[in-house]
Amino acid sequence: MNELLRRAAEIARQILKHEEVLVVTHIDADGITAGTIAHTSLLRAGIESRIKFVKQLDEVEIETIKDKNTFVWFTDIGSGVIDLLEGIEFAITDHHVPQRSHPMQLNPHDFGYDGAFELSGATTTYLVSRYLRNGTTLFDYEIDNSDLLPISIVGAVGDLQDSRWGMLKGLNREIVMEGKRKGQIEIIRDLRFFGKQTRPVAKMLEYNSDPFIPGITGNEAGVLNLLDSLGVDPWVRWIDLEIDKKRKVVSALVGLAMDFGIPYTSILRMVGECYILINEEEGTEKRDAMEFSTLLNATARYNEAEVGMGVCLGDVRAYRRARTLLQNHRRNLSDGIKFVDREGIEELENIQYFHARDNIPDTIVGIVAGMCFYKGNREKPIVAFAESDKGVKVSARATYRLVEKGVHLAKALKKAAESVGGVGGGHSVAAGATIPEGKEDEFLKILDRVIGEQLKR
């Protein structure tokens, strides 16, 4: 931990030498919060800052960045393509599997931590932001940017870093506990569904899709029948419901999930720690870290990451726009699940896949893949294809049980993608790639072989 903090402090000192910095960040909840933290802390330090949101860093994108001829701070992105950054003066705060170590890179993997759940892009960036002011000592925790801590936790939750155990662990744990000590965050054990703050219980259950519960998800009549049988008012918000009635609902949902054979790990994720942002208004999406992150992801998936950043900064108009985007996002996810139901999931020896073509936006095909896992074979990673403006988008998801058996999707996708002229990376349990159109079959053949080799090892 001390070595990681020393690296964070040294990177901050190097950043402070510059009068202007371009922040380049990833388009998702983790990237939006990471970019907001970097951008805000730079402005506070008296450094001119601009921000650029990108889906991925390839050679074309990197060349446009080089043309800016300025110092670049990459947040939640960059570690996988360090060798392509030659000619750019940069800092990286990322948590994806790095291509190699670098003195201006803060990445948990370089210090023996797992970036899939111990530190996200936002929490890594937050560690550097704490030292972005003149006169800060190495272990001074009472510094100006500590108010950025809550949105770093939103980023970690948005990256699903709490999904494995239903709570944040590792270095994320230390940061969230710091937030608790500072009176910024309350930690409660509760149902981990979107809408606890804002929706009637009936709508919260109807629109939940993780896990997808047949007869409940997307089924208003089914939800109303369930709540009526439990004696629960369907039009009361979850946060206003009595504790005994909450327990009845949770018990019923667990029973239904088990009856339909939903994996035990998915059932466990239904209830766990929830992180309440005390300084945000109760009854809004921004009050709960999970709901906040879902709101930000909705802006990212539809190429309006600037709106998400505005939400982080308290912009009221941006918040209204984000809520509209979220409604559209929920509808698209439902349509995506229906598409997979119609088309089905194909299986190879070691993997399973579906090709959405232009039926599911490339920005959400990975989410749909994860939500459809229960429809397929839990013993094989699921791979999804979708058309994008840069070729074919590939998104892959595994279970933690598969990871424990040897699967590492980031390494596998990177190898398979590069073999067909594409790029790939990510985490052991979730990864992505972009490959040339028409190379899907070749990619699948290579990926199937690589995953098989990982399982044998």
Q: Which two tokens stand for residue 17?
A: 């030498």
**Residue 18 pLDDT more than 90?**
yes
* Residue 40: pLDDT over 50: yes
- Pairing, β 185-191 against β 271-277: antiparallel
Query: Residue 403: how many CA atoms within 13 Å on its side-chain side?
Result: 18
Contact between residue 301 and residue 361 where contact means Cβ atoms under 8 Å apart? yes
Is the peptide bond preceding residue 361 cis, with omega within 30 degrees of 0?
no
Helix or strand holding residue 443 (H, E): helix 440-456
What element of type H or E holds 353? strand 352-355
Question: Quick check: 398 pLDDT over 70?
Answer: yes
Per-residue pLDDT tens for 248-296? 999 999 998 888 877 776 777 788 899 999 999 998 999 999 999 999 9
Query: H or E stretch including 352?
Result: strand 352-355
Q: Among 67-71, 127-131, 366-370, whose mean pLDDT is lowest?
A: 67-71
Q: What is the mean pLDDT of residues 112-141?
A: 81
* pLDDT score for 367: 86
Task: Give one DSSP letter per residue of 50-66, joined into a string.
Answer: EEEEES---HHHHHHHH
C-alpha distances out from residue 456 to 249, 382, 449, Å: 42, 18, 11
User: At how many degrees (to 10) do helices 316-343 and 305-312 cross?
Assistant: 130
Residue 325 has pLDDT above 80, yes or no: yes
Mean predicted confidence (pLDDT) in 35-51:
95
C-alpha torsion 289→291→293→296, nearest 10 = -140
pLDDT of 136 higher than 50: no
Q: What is the pLDDT of residue 217?
A: 80
Range name among 9-23, 77-91, 332-346, 366-380 with the lowest pLDDT average: 366-380
- On the question of pLDDT at 333 being above 90, the answer is no
**Nearest C-alpha neighbor of 378 from the set 363, 364, 405, 398:** 398
Q: What is the pLDDT of residue 123?
A: 98
- Tell me the C-alpha distance between 127 and 30, whole Å: 14
Q: Give 43's pLDDT tier (boundaries 50, 70, 90).
A: very high
pLDDT band at 134 (very low <50, low <70, confident <90, very high): low
The kind and range of the H/E element at 35 are: helix 29-44
pLDDT band at residue 141 using 50, 70 and 90 as cut-offs: very low
The token duo for 376 is: 């397929």
* CA nearest neighbour of 393 among 418, 368, 422: 422
**Entry pTM:** 0.80
H-helix segments, 372-439: 400-404, 409-419
Mean pLDDT of 321-332: 90
Q: What is the pLDDT of residue 359?
A: 95
Residue 411: name the closest of 450, 365, 457 by CA.
Answer: 450
How far is residue 70's CA from residue 91's CA, in Å, rounded to a whole number?
12
Q: Are strands 352-355 and 346-347 parallel, antiparallel or unpaired?
A: antiparallel
Average confidence score pLDDT of the chain: 91
Q: Provide the token pair at 244.
A: 């005994």
Q: Is a pLDDT exceeding 50 seen at residue 140?
A: no
**338, amino acid identity:** K
Least confident window among 329-333, 350-354, 392-396: 329-333
Structure tokens at 159: 């990256």
Percent of the chain topping pLDDT 70: 97
Contact 354, 345 (CB under 8 A): yes
Distances (CA, A) of 82 to 102, 105, 137, 364, 448: 8, 9, 29, 27, 27
